[in-house]
């Protein structure tokens, strides 16, 4: 159902308060009254008069700046009043805690998620779906808010004349002096992330909005500590933008000359500034099994800080959302139905449209498709289902081609699928993504390439609202959303519990390790990365959208269309062309057309008979009658034009205005009946009043007659005597009357006591019955709720069954497609295998040519002096070429294995083929270079021989040093053996000791473990020594290999000299560390032996004292007997 109302969003409106709600049009709307369509749409929820519990979403549609957010707030205000559990109380100013929190949720989310744009001063930079739950009595019992695609890039960069999120301006303008000092706040112009400085909003004060936001957070249940922590994070995001990096003079490495801002950031976030700086400038990256520190360039450091700021703000926003949902989640009463309010960003066309605009416009395409399906397809299908004569009308509003262009997974892949695919390719760029998109979708009717390209990353998509030019700059980065995991680990271990809680799931982020692996030369290694297997931003957003669309399809949605009146943001002005263009693009004109041609109003037979039988009271005979037949008789009695209605199988359909006319006739009929009833009541009351007046008149006459007779009688003498004597006659009967009165009083007391006891019994019985009644009411309420739940579950299961059947059919179709695709891939695999055989043959030919060149080289060098040395050099060259051949063979086998593993990635295999062809061409170039180098060998030989002799001397020195180290190690080993012997002797002497000696033996065993670790360290040193020897041999081989290299080998020689120097230093450091360890173990051993000796002497002294005391007591014992 689609609702269209005309509301001037630029005119100040009243808010909801009291028992009635003031609508934007100024009319008072109550649950039974009339008002705008916005309130009528909201009022159709289960909380107000419906007898069946259904889910009921309201979708606000329209372009950016049309007033969707404002209408959402008005609907929530309306619901907070009419569906409040405090609605029936006399004090209408009292609102429940849940209703207050529901009203205050919007100001909090707007402060952190809304911003000023060119079109809208309070534009929602995220989408939200507000789910308000109602119980079986129609009262609000809880709510939940889901958000979609926060535009977090706005936190660091804004377009001209636009603002970042409101909270940044609120905080700077509204914080008091103490808070400014605590949060290290500065002026607007001092922050880099506030691109345009201070941009005011007309008729809005940032300082007042700050206090309103803080008050809303207090009502929502945020503690003062939580509020301060939130504002600290906001301030730290601003401070991150002020960190300045500079490029060092001789290298590309970034540096931070002044870390004052970094200290502020670390103070606010509770982390160490040194670790933070090191993590940004030289983060640790795991490459294979090694962890290395990689220096970052200035651009990489700036990107890391901006990504950290965006991720921090996004996590803060999600934390606030979860905190709001926690406050609104009231589970003490079960929800029987819900009202969903969808407020999502409208269709956007800016000067520069990026990834966020694509996602927003994609969502609006899906929602517009749902509206078209509900308004046009389902409407006409219901006509056919009810058996009404109707010619199916094609309104030409099929949006599926544009949607498939964006979301199609394959054959050919859409924009999102291609973007995800490019994220896996090494060295992929935004330009390569656009090129692949143009090659795959270039012929699509909804895809265009701009005629005048400002940038090679631009393309256009024709949406339902017009053509949009997109710029794909940084789309790969936005889709992967990588972070510096060194910094995130620091934040996870922050001393601030709030910050640590924000970053508690750091294992699920894409960090530098994954990015490094994904940029390696081979694609399979990147695809096998465990932590690299992540879901992109596009995939997550698509999953959220699918869930939202499923919710909307399984319910009865109402669409409220919001229209932009003008672009000048002026009240009272209507741009006719702009409004008509929006109505045309959004399908409202077609909706009006089908409403005029079709039968938009419908009502089931039973409800029609129950509601309008009063208009044809004598048309239906008494007794049972079929609902359809009864409705036919009523229609005949009402004498309606046959062109104005159609009777279906279960409903009656009316054209526009007919049902409203029947409602007016019904109101008139009810008015006549009520007026007749009122006339009868007034006549009855008048007659009753007249009879009473007559009785009063007769009584007045009797009183007057009696008064006149008394005036005549009072002067009569006998009457006077009678009045004097009569009291004297009563004296004799007073005693009898007193006794009778006492007896009567005693009986009355007995009856009173009996009545009191009966009253107490009745009161007890009444309380028991009241308790039983309350219990039965609770049971009845529970049974009602269970019935409602069961009914809702039945509806859900039916919908789920239908959905699963559709999924089954879809999966069967996909299975057939996958089988066809598998056959195609099998054919391509055979082709690739044949290509690999061709490559192997080419490699064998190249190897034969290489061997031929090698023979020529050996023949040429046979004429050179020192034939034996040259023969050794050539042998080394032969060995090197053999190794290269083995490497190439292994490479071919690896490629074959990868081909079998990557059958589904035929395009990737094509790239691998091209890569091998380039390798073959490189080998041909290298062969040519070797032919040239053979001619230069004589000139380089003498020079390299001198250098080789120098290296031989250095190697001899290293060998001498190694021999000296061996002698030192042997000496240390002898000392350790001697120490072990002494330790064994001391242990043998203590075998007969008591419990104390056993404890000392534990210490000795610990020392034995230390000695074992020392032996392991010595073995490790020997292994390192052997490794160093092998490396020296490798250096020798490489030095000899340099005889066959080109002129560029001089640089390699210098590099090898540096490596030899580094090896020397490493060997020296290892020797020193080993000596230090041996010395430390020797000191530990000596100290332990001294401690054991001292403890043994102490034990001996204690034993002697004990023996002396024992002997003394024995002597006393003997002397006592004597």
Q: Of 27, 57, 26, which Cα lies nearest the Cα of 44? A: 57
> What is the average pLDDT across 528-537?
53
Is residue 69 part of the annotated active site? The answer reads yes
Top pLDDT among 1048 and 44 is at 1048
| pLDDT at residue 1119, as a whole number | 61
Q: Tell me how far apart the alpha carbons of residues 284 and 302 are, in angstroms, rounded to a whole number.
A: 17
| pLDDT at residue 680, as a whole number | 95
What's the pLDDT band for 44 if we cut at 50, 70, 90? Answer: very low
Is residue 123 part of the annotated active site? The answer reads yes
Is residue 65 part of the annotated active site? The answer reads yes
- Tokens read off for 593: 């057309």
Share of residues in the chain with pLDDT > 90 (%): 13
Mind listing the pLDDT tens digit for each residue in 593-628? 767 777 888 888 888 888 888 888 888 888 777 888
Contacts of 545 (CB under 8 A, 6+ apart): 148, 362, 363, 366
Q: Inform me whether the pLDDT recorded for 659 exceeds 60.
A: yes
Q: Residues 36, 41, 55, 64: which is the catalytic one?
A: 64
Q: Inform me whether the pLDDT recorded for 253 exceeds 90.
A: no
Q: Tell me how far apart the alpha carbons of residues 1074 and 719 are, in angstroms, rounded to a whole number.
A: 149
What's the pLDDT band for 862 if we cut at 50, 70, 90? Answer: low
| pLDDT at residue 171, as a whole number | 92
- DSSP for 386-432 reads TT--------S---HHHHHHHH--SSS--HHHHHHHHHHSTT--HHH
| pLDDT at residue 335, as a whole number | 59
| pLDDT at residue 29, as a whole number | 38
Q: Inform me whether the pLDDT recorded for 893 exceeds 90.
A: no
- DSSP for 365-392 reads HHHHHHHHIIIIIHHHHHHHHTT-----
Q: Inform me whether the pLDDT recorded for 533 exceeds 50.
A: no
> What is the average pLDDT across 759-783?
84
Q: Of 537, 476, 463, 502, which Cα lies nearest the Cα of 149? A: 537
Mind listing the pLDDT tens digit for each residue in 953-993? 777 777 777 777 778 777 777 777 776 676 666 666 665 65
Positions of E strands within 239-361: 246-247, 254-255, 284-287, 290-293, 337-343
| pLDDT at residue 213, as a whole number | 93
Q: Tell me how far apart the alpha carbons of residues 53 and 141 are, in angstroms, rounded to a whole number.
A: 15
Q: Inform me whether the pLDDT recorded for 877 exceeds 60.
A: yes
Top mean pLDDT of 274-288, 305-319, 513-527, 804-818 is at: 305-319
| pLDDT at residue 687, as a whole number | 96
What's the pLDDT band for 23 if we cut at 50, 70, 90? Answer: very low
Mean pLDDT value across the chain: 77
| pLDDT at residue 678, as a whole number | 94
Q: Residues 65, 241, 270, 340: which is the catalytic one?
A: 65
Say if residues 473 and 457 touch (Cβ distance below 8 Å): yes
Q: What is the DSSP letter of 26?
A: S
Q: Tell me how far apart the alpha carbons of residues 987 and 984 are, in angstroms, rounded to a whole number.
A: 5
Mind listing the pLDDT tens digit for each residue in 422-444? 888 877 888 899 988 998 888 89
| pLDDT at residue 849, as a whole number | 74
Is residue 457 part of the annotated active site? The answer reads no
Q: Tell me how far apart the alpha carbons of residues 589 and 1082 are, in angstroms, rounded to a whole number.
A: 95
Of the ranges 101-110, 254-263, 294-303, 977-986, which one carries the lowest mean pLDDT score? 977-986
Give the containing element (helix H, strand E) for 4.
strand 2-4
What's the pLDDT band for 1021 if we cut at 50, 70, 90? Answer: confident
Burial class (CB in 10 A: 0-12, 13-18, 19+), 1083: exposed
CB-based burial, 913-942: b 16+ in 10 Å, e otherwise: beebeeeeeebeeeeeebeebeeebeebbe
| pLDDT at residue 53, as a whole number | 39
Q: Residues 162, 348, 458, 590: which is the catalytic one?
A: 348
Top mean pLDDT of 348-357, 928-937, 1033-1042 is at: 348-357
The verdict on whether residue 69 carries a ligand-binding annotation is: yes
Of the ranges 417-421, 642-646, 1075-1079, which one carries the lowest mean pLDDT score? 1075-1079
Q: Tell me how far apart the alpha carbons of residues 79 and 45 are, in angstroms, rounded to a whole number.
A: 10
Mind listing the pLDDT tens digit for each residue in 895-941? 666 666 665 666 665 666 666 667 776 766 776 776 676 667 667 66
What's the pLDDT band for 1022 if we cut at 50, 70, 90? Answer: confident
What's the pLDDT band for 1118 if we cut at 50, 70, 90? Answer: low
CB atoms within 10 A of CB 234: 24
For residue 348, the Cα-to-chain-centroid distance in whole angstroms is 23
Q: Residues 41, 120, 229, 279: which is the catalytic one?
A: 120
Of the ranges 89-103, 708-722, 943-957, which one carries the lowest mean pLDDT score? 89-103
What's the pLDDT band for 863 if we cut at 50, 70, 90? Answer: low
Q: Residues 22, 55, 59, 69: which is the catalytic one?
A: 69
The rounded radius of gyration (Å) of the Cα atoms in the chain is 47
Share of residues in the chain with pLDDT > 70 (%): 75
The verdict on whether residue 66 carries a ligand-binding annotation is: yes
| pLDDT at residue 31, as a whole number | 35
Is residue 23 part of the annotated active site? The answer reads no
Top pLDDT among 1080 and 112 is at 112
What's the pLDDT band for 240 if we cut at 50, 70, 90? Answer: very high
The verdict on whether residue 68 carries a ligand-binding annotation is: yes
| pLDDT at residue 28, as a whole number | 35
Q: Residues 42, 106, 124, 551: which is the catalytic one?
A: 124
Mind listing the pLDDT tens digit for each residue in 783-813? 877 887 777 778 878 777 887 887 887 788 7
Please give the span between the terminal C-alpha atoms of the chain, in angstroms, as a whole number.
Answer: 122
The angle formed by the CA atoms of residues 1063, 1064 and 1068, to the nearest 5 degrees, is 115
The verdict on whether residue 192 carries a ligand-binding annotation is: no
What's the pLDDT band for 90 if we cut at 50, 70, 90? Answer: very low
Q: Inform me whether the pLDDT recorded for 859 exceeds 80.
A: no
| pLDDT at residue 233, as a whole number | 94
Q: Inform me whether the pLDDT recorded for 764 exceeds 50.
A: yes
The verdict on whether residue 63 carries a ligand-binding annotation is: yes
Q: Residues 36, 71, 123, 337: which is the catalytic one?
A: 123
The verdict on whether residue 335 carries a ligand-binding annotation is: no
The verdict on whether residue 64 carries a ligand-binding annotation is: yes
Mind listing the pLDDT tens digit for each residue in 674-731? 999 999 999 999 999 999 999 999 999 999 999 988 888 888 888 888 888 777 766 6
For residue 235, the Cα-to-chain-centroid distance in whole angstroms is 23
| pLDDT at residue 999, as a whole number | 66
Where do we find the tokens 């749409």? 41
Say if residues 264 and 180 touch (Cβ distance below 8 Å): no
């Amino acid at each position: 159902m689609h609702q269209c109302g005309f509301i001037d969003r630029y005119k100040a409106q009243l808010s909801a308060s009291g028992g009635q709600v003031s609508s934007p049009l100024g009319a008072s709307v109550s649950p039974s009254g009339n008002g705008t369509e916005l309130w009528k749409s909201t009022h159709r929820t289960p909380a107000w008069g419906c007898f069946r519990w259904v889910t009921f979403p309201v979708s606000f549609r329209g372009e950016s700046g049309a007033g969707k957010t404002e209408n959402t707030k008005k609907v929530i205000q309306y619901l907070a009043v009419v569906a409040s559990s405090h609605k029936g109380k006399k004090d209408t100013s009292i609102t429940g805690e849940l209703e207050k929190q529901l009203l205050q949720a919007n100001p909090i989310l707007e402060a952190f998620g809304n911003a000023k744009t060119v079109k809208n001063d309070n534009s929602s930079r995220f989408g939200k779906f507000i789910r308000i739950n109602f119980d079986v009595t129609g009262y609000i019992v809880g709510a939940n808010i889901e958000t979609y695609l926060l535009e977090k890039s706005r936190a660091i960069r804004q377009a001209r004349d636009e603002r970042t999120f409101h909270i940044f301006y609120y905080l700077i303008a509204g914080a008091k002096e103490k808070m400014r000092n605590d949060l290290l706040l500065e002026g607007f112009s001092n922050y880099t992330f506030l691109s345009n400085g201070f941009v005011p909003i007309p008729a809005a004060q940032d300082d007042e909005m700050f206090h309103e936001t803080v008050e809303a957070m207090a009502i929502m249940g945020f503690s003062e500590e939580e509020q301060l922590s939130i504002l600290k994070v906001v301030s730290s995001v601003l401070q991150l933008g002020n960190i300045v990096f500079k490029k060092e003079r001789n290298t590309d490495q970034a540096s931070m000359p002044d870390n004052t801002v970094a200290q502020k950031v670390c103070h606010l976030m509770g982390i160490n500034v040194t670790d933070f700086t090191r993590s940004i400038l030289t983060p640790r990256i795991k490459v294979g099994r090694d962890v290395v520190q990689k220096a970052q360039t200035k651009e990489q450091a700036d990107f890391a800080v901006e990504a950290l700021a965006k991720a921090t703000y996004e996590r803060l926003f999600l934390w606030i959302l979860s905190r709001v949902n926690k406050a609104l989640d009231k589970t003490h009463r079960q929800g029987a139905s819900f009202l969903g309010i969808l407020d999502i960003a409208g269709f956007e066309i800016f000067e520069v449209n990026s990834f966020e605009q694509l996602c927003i416009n994609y969502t609006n395409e899906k929602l517009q498709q749902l509206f078209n399906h509900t308004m046009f397809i389902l409407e006409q299908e219901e006509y056919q289902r009810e058996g009404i004569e109707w010619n199916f009308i094609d309104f030409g509003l099929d949006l599926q081609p544009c949607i498939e262009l964006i979301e199609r997974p394959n054959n050919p892949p859409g924009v999102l699928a291609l973007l995800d695919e490019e994220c896996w390719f090494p060295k992929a760029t935004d330009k390569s993504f656009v090129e692949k998109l143009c090659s795959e979708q270039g012929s699509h009717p909804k895809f265009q390439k701009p005629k005048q390209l400002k940038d090679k990353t631009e393309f256009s998509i024709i949406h339902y609202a017009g053509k949009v030019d997109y710029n794909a700059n940084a789309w790969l980065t936005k889709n992967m959303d990588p972070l510096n995991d060194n910094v995130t680990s620091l934040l996870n271990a922050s001393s601030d519990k709030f910050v640590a809680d924000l970053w508690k799931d750091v294992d699920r982020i894409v960090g530098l390790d994954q990015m490094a692996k994904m940029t390696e030369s081979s694609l399979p290694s990147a695809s096998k990365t465990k932590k690299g297997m992540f879901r992109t931003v596009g995939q997550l957003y698509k999953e959220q959208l699918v869930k939202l669309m499923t919710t909307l399809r399984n319910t009865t949605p109402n669409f409220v269309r919001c229209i932009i009146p003008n672009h000048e943001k002026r009240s009272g002005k209507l741009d006719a062309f702009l409004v008509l263009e929006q109505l045309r693009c959004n399908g409202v004109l077609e909706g009006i057309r089908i409403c005029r041609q079709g039968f938009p109003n419908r009502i089931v037979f039973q409800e029609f008979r129950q509601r309008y039988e009063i208009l044809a009271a004598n048309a239906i005979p008494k007794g049972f009658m079929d609902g359809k037949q009864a409705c036919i008789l009523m229609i005949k009695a009402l004498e309606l034009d046959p062109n104005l209605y159609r009777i279906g199988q279960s409903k009656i359909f009316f054209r526009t205005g007919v049902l409203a006319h029947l409602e007016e006739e019904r109101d008139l009929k009810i008015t006549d009946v009520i007026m007749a009833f009122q006339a009868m009541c007034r006549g009855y009351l008048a007659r009753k009043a007249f009879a009473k007046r007559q009785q009063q008149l007769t009584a007045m006459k009797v009183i007057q007659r009696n008064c006149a007779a008394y005036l005549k009688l009072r002067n009569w003498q006998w009457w006077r005597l009678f009045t004097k004597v009569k009291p004297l006659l009563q004296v004799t009967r007073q005693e009898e009357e007193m006794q009778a009165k006492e007896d009567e009083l005693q009986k009355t007391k007995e009856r009173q006591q009996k009545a009191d006891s009966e009253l107490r019994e009745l009161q007890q019985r009444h309380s028991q019955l009241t308790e039983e009644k309350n219990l039965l009411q609770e049971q009845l309420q529970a049974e009602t709720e269970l019935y409602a739940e069961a009914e809702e579950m039945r509806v859900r299961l039916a919908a789920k069954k239908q959905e699963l059947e559709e999924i089954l059919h879809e999966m069967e179709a996909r299975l057939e497609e996958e089988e066809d695709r598998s056959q195609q891939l099998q054919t391509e695999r055979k082709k690739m295998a044949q290509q690999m055989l061709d490559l192997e043959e080419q490699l064998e030919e190249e190897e034969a040519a290489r061997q031929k060149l090698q023979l020529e080289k050996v023949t040429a060098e046979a004429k050179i002096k020192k034939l034996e040395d040259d023969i050794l050099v050539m042998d080394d060259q032969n060995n090197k070429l053999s190794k290269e051949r083995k490497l190439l063979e292994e490479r071919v086998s690896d490629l074959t294995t990868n081909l079998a593993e990557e059958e589904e990635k035929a395009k990737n295999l094509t790239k691998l083929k091209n890569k091998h062809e380039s390798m073959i061409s490189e080998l041909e170039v290298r062969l040519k270079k070797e032919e040239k180098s053979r001619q230069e060998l004589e000139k380089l030989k003498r020079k390299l021989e001198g250098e080789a002799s120098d290296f031989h001397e250095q190697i001899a020195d290293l060998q001498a040093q190694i021999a000296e180290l061996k002698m030192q190690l042997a000496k240390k080993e002898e000392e350790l053996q001697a120490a072990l012997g002494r330790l064994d002797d001391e242990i043998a002497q203590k075998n007969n000791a008591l419990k104390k000696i056993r404890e000392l033996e534990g210490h000795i065993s610990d020392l034995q473990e230390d000695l074992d670790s020392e032996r392991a360290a010595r073995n490790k040193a020997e292994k390192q020594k052997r490794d160093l020897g092998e490396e020296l041999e490798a250096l020798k081989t490489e030095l000899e290999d340099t005889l066959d290299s080109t002129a560029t080998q001089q640089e390699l020689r210098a590099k090898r000299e540096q490596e030899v120097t580094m090896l020397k230093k490493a060997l020296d450091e290892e020797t020193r560390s080993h000596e230090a360890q041996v010395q430390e173990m020797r000191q530990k051993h000596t100290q332990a032996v001294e401690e054991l000796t001292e403890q043994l002497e102490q034990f001996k002294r204690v034993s002697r004292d004990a023996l002396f005391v024992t002997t003394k007591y024995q002597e006393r014992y003997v002397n006592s007997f004597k």
